[in-house]
Chain A
């Protein structure tokens, strides 16, 4: 009895620690975004805005009035959505083949995906920079969409093939007995069953594209295609020690909102997707 109470208290303390761990830095950046720029210039240590050092919504208004920032949000949303859509389509095809069909290159596909998932992206920046300039897609949307697709494909293929193995394949066979070809069985029976898995893969892919920084700063040079993480880092020139902290914090909060919304709505699916490939029970 005694140990039971003790373990319950331990769990409660653990929960509190997890919540503090996860939410404190987020609360901090939100609090920072409400400090006034004057207060920040003078120096305003402490977690909350000091008395008279608050800015209300001013920082948010300023940041949303900034053309470069608005353009970066637009770029990020557009590029991430297109990359997600295309990547998930290609990954769905590949994952179906891996989960369902017997073919000789299966091991090669899985190994390639694994190697690429761990690839040091910076090592590609030089040659891609050179290639994209030759092809004329440097500093354009496709110039970012293509690398985002390649680097989200492994994760998507991984997640999807794990999901696809759970699907009741007898239904596909039933369709084939009724005279459907492999392709028809795939399109008419499996796609609707696989939709939840596809959706999960899409969220994870979107996370990756939204989070990317290396390609975002290396393969763009103007606001034509610059996504939001890169725009945030360039927000006020090169001096990393003298940034308008509260304005940046407001920008950071705006950039984080879409992700938090996705997390709040699709928590269960994301957890399932993240762990599906790595440790399957």
Chain B
């Protein structure tokens, strides 16, 4: 990354001489604000403003079924949520799904990227097909996999040798979660592999050739040359996919509707707010969900030392 970091800046170089002219730079500043303002306003209207409102509502006992009984309860909603086993069970599910799916996606996605990097013949066909899972609606993917795993109308049981033909995947928690994760992994691996492919393209062929000449084995070349050189791409892909997986909702809604303890934290929040109209406790859960995403992002960034500016090449 560092070698290419300067390239995009080249386009900006001619700007430097303009800096001293304060009139001009002030006009530029004003124009920039005008151009950026609508987008920023809209993004904040639908995120920051409702989030603040959630923060406020979370301090009340407030149900839409009896809106007049709204009552200030301080942090009681948070105490209720955090002392409830459901919250921790669902957070556990979510974290588990996130870790397992991201690991599978990373490994399979990397293998796919390696193949796509090598393939010359039929490149267009491969790239077109890899985009199809990405384009398929998550709900449709959920249906496809739910029916595939179904013991009355699916094919998975008859194809898998170690599963009985009438095994019901959706009768208990672990097998339900496997089905949910299968759908999630199927749909998002292609996206991962495209990000990794872009990173792979940045690994210098000369360096690989040199390693080969020096007698490095395939594994050595992978671990010592390829992976370290596409670190930034891997980290960005992991960060994006992990945070996306943490929001998992569609697949669970379609495939199990949270039955048998397969709820995610997003699903719990949705259920409180939309199905049970509990805006007070639901808002507290919303705030907790938001905070937990921040924690996850922070942990990943710190753990893997992701430098987003490096990947984005922005100062």
Q: How far is the CB of B127 from chain A (nearest CB, A)?
A: 6
Known: A129-B274, A279-B232. A28 touches B155 (CB 8 A): yes
B residues within 8 A CB of A22?
A: 129-130, 132-133, 190
Q: How far is the CB of B310 from chain A (nearest CB, A)?
A: 10
Q: Mark A255-275, 1 if CB is under 8 A from B, else 0.
A: 110011011100110110011
Interface residues of B, CB < 8 Å — how many?
Answer: 126
Q: How far is the CB of A49 from chain B (nearest CB, A)?
A: 11
List the one stretch of A54-62, A63-71, A149-157, A191-199 in contact with chain B: A149-157
| A252 CA / B44 CA spacing, docked (Å) | 34
Q: How far is the CB of A249 from chain B (nearest CB, A)?
A: 7
| A251 CA / B38 CA spacing, docked (Å) | 37
List the one stretch of B81-89, B95-103, B139-147, B220-228 in contact with chain A: B139-147
Cβ of A201 < 8 Å from any Cβ of B? no
Q: How far is the CB of B110 from chain A (nearest CB, A)?
A: 12
Q: Could you say which of A19, A103, A217 contacts B126, with CB atoms under 8 Å apart?
A: A19
Cβ of B261 < 8 Å from any Cβ of A? no
Contact between chains at B274 and A233 (CB < 8 Å): no
Contact between chains at B43 and A154 (CB < 8 Å): yes
| A15 CA / B256 CA spacing, docked (Å) | 33
Question: Which of A18, A29, A183 gathers most chain B CB within 10 Å?
Answer: A18
| A157 CA / B38 CA spacing, docked (Å) | 12
Name the residue on A nearest B118 (C-beta): A11
| A17 CA / B111 CA spacing, docked (Å) | 10
Q: How far is the CB of A210 from chain B (nearest CB, A)?
A: 7
Known: A29-B140, A213-B253. A103 touches B28 (CB 8 A): yes
| A93 CA / B148 CA spacing, docked (Å) | 45
Contact between chains at A240 and B195 (CB < 8 Å): no
CB contact list, A1-46 vs B, under 8 A: 7, 11, 14-15, 17-19, 21-23, 25-26, 28-29, 32, 35, 40, 43-46
Q: Mark B45-75, 1 if CB is under 8 A from A, else 0.
A: 1110011011001000000100000000000
Cβ of B314 < 8 Å from any Cβ of A? yes
A residues within 8 A CB of B174?
A: none
Contact between chains at B312 and A232 (CB < 8 Å): no
Known: A110-B312, A126-B54. A213 touches B152 (CB 8 A): no
Cβ of B25 < 8 Å from any Cβ of A? yes
Cβ of B255 < 8 Å from any Cβ of A? yes
Contact between chains at A123 and B269 (CB < 8 Å): yes
A residues within 8 A CB of B108?
A: 21
Contact between chains at B129 and A46 (CB < 8 Å): no
Q: How far is the CB of A41 from chain B (nearest CB, A)?
A: 9
Which residue numbers of A lie inside 8 Å of B, CB to CB? 7, 11, 14-15, 17-19, 21-23, 25-26, 28-29, 32, 35, 40, 43-47, 90-91, 93-94, 96-98, 101-107, 109-110, 112-116, 118-131, 146-147, 149-151, 153-154, 157, 165, 167, 169-170, 173, 182-183, 207, 210-211, 213-214, 217-218, 228-229, 232-233, 238, 240-241, 245, 248-249, 252, 255-256, 259-260, 262-264, 267-268, 270-271, 274-275, 277-281
